[in-house]
Structure 1
Amino acid sequence: MHANKPHQGQVRSAEVVRALLAGSRLATSFEDILVRRERLAGRSYLQLTERIQDRYSVRCAPQIIGIVRDTLAWADGWLATEINSATDNPLFDADGSGLHLGGNFYAGHVGQAMDSLKTAVAGLANLLDRQLALIVDEKFNEGLPPNLIAARPADDPEAGLHHGFKGMQIAASAVTAEALKQTRPVSVFSRSTEAHNQDIVSMGTISAREARTVNGLVREVALLRLCRTPRVRCARAW
């Protein structure tokens, strides 16, 4: 399937998912589902007892993660070129004793790369948040308890006092919203200054700063997602 849409990041992400699922008894092939399905046998419809497709946050994970991989690849190249360039003005030619006035200071590649990077990375937070929501919701988590906490009898004095991973899912959703809010491109907000001498600027610095902020927020969501594992590992991650 992924060979028919061969974006390198998508293909690589699919390879990782496939490797993680190898030998798992929790994964069911589409062919197995078809074999187990009851036949229509002349009926106009049949209510299925199991899904034939996962939700987008599971089914489209290689595509969503692949966008980040591919964005990182070209953004890394752009930034490497920028870092290893002469970006000042004027430029002095030491060998020829020349002076060159120009616009190499314009960091448009940085601004564009950072705007794209923060949008792609924020998409990861969105993916992780939706996956976590599926895991804690008993309507979608394939038999796991609500909020991943064992049910207590109604006469238990502590019944209703423990909410499991509910707070963690809400926190992940809130941090994700904050990250997504900051994906508005900064590079389009150029302002004219210095009596219109500097009448169009790259906004690269602000874009890079916001990309750093979004990366930090997405890291928090990723840690919250990891913390559905045992407490020791959670504490170690933090």
Structure 2
Amino acid sequence: MNEIAVDRIDRAIKQWARRKRALISLSCYAREIEMWGRTAGVRKVRRLLEIGSGSGWFLVAAVVFGFAGEATGIDPAIPEAGTQAEDIANTESVIQEVGLSDRVHLRSGTFQNILRGSQEPYDLLVFRNVLHHIYPKSGGGTEDKYASRCVDDLSSARGLFTTAGYVYVVEVDPGSWLWRATYNLLRTLRGAPTIDWKTKRTAQEWKRIFEKAGFQSLGLARLPLHHPLLAAPGVEGLARVLSQSFLLAGRAR
């Protein structure tokens, strides 16, 4: 892809991120994808499916950087009115503008819809900051119910794969109470909503869930904090220490 098209995508992502009060750019996706590739030992996949793809920019990045030959995203918010629908429409216009319409696809649906009816095989399933929404952690017997349902659904999802099937998971580990309080304070200062940490599972809890569902863990890695002040060479270690976001790579057994 030529530099003009890449620059157009990067500008569109930054505009979207500003509206969402997020610190995300095309290079953020590039670093994350590269880290998953190193952790999993996989440089490229033919077809990936992202569950809860939101505005769809991860899909675009995966194709632009040559990580995926084709990328499909499923999100239940696509047919709804409001900001998210507008964001998705904007992404689709950029996809068409840069000539990726035959390789990046945004569709309406849920994980359960896919489990019930997909006939298309994929090499990689992606869950980026979405599993805690579908299977939230809560107290008592409810927690066991959601965890068991997650194990069952992930086990069924192995039927979506071609011969080689991988998972790419991004979540946030709750960390210490001090880190949680500080993180929410910083989000409040920039006008972003605070995080309900009670719904979050730890990295090790997610690892055990995937293993129970029939996936081999290929590794866990802590993702660096996305911030302009931490983007300079030599401070990646600090950016990782300040972050509780983690990446899990797995393969279907």
Q: Select the structure of larger CA radius of gyration.
A: 1
- Pairwise same-fold verdict (TM > 0.5): no
Which of the two has greater helix per residue? Answer: 1
TM range (shorter): under 0.3
Q: TM-score, normalised by structure 1?
A: 0.23
